[in-house]
Amino acid sequence: MYVVVFCTVPEGKGYEIGRKIIEEKLGACVNIISNINSIYWWKGQISEDKEELLIIKTKKSILDELISFIKSIHPYTVPEIIALDIVKGNIDYLNWIEENVK
């Protein structure tokens, strides 16, 4: 019913993207973790970047819409967008997610 979505963004873009997600009511809360060092394969080479990690709490029913929205505003060609089911949680917090996401 609810998911936590991880999305890395370029350093300095977390607030802008996170704010847009909240304004569109596609997430109830976006945490921004700064100073992430990422090492990954890209186009046959090892790349390294400074990034920020968005942790988005939302409803599973609008996950496809959230993914499409992030892809439409994200500067990466292939943004990381990974969702994990919330299997249990504080019912008051889960109700708050329900009330604050479209």
Segment 22-69, tens digit of pLDDT: 999 999 999 999 999 999 999 999 999 999 999 999 999 999 999 999
pTM over 0.85: yes
Sheet holding 82-85, edge to edge: 29-42, 45-59, 2-10, 82-85
Segment 66-82, tens digit of pLDDT: 999 999 999 999 999 99
| Single-letter amino acid code for the residue at 93 | Y
- Pair 4, 57: CB distance under 8 Å: yes
| Single-letter amino acid code for the residue at 7 | C
Q: Could you give all domains of the chain from N- to C-terminal order, each with its CATH number? A: 2-100 (3.30.70.120)
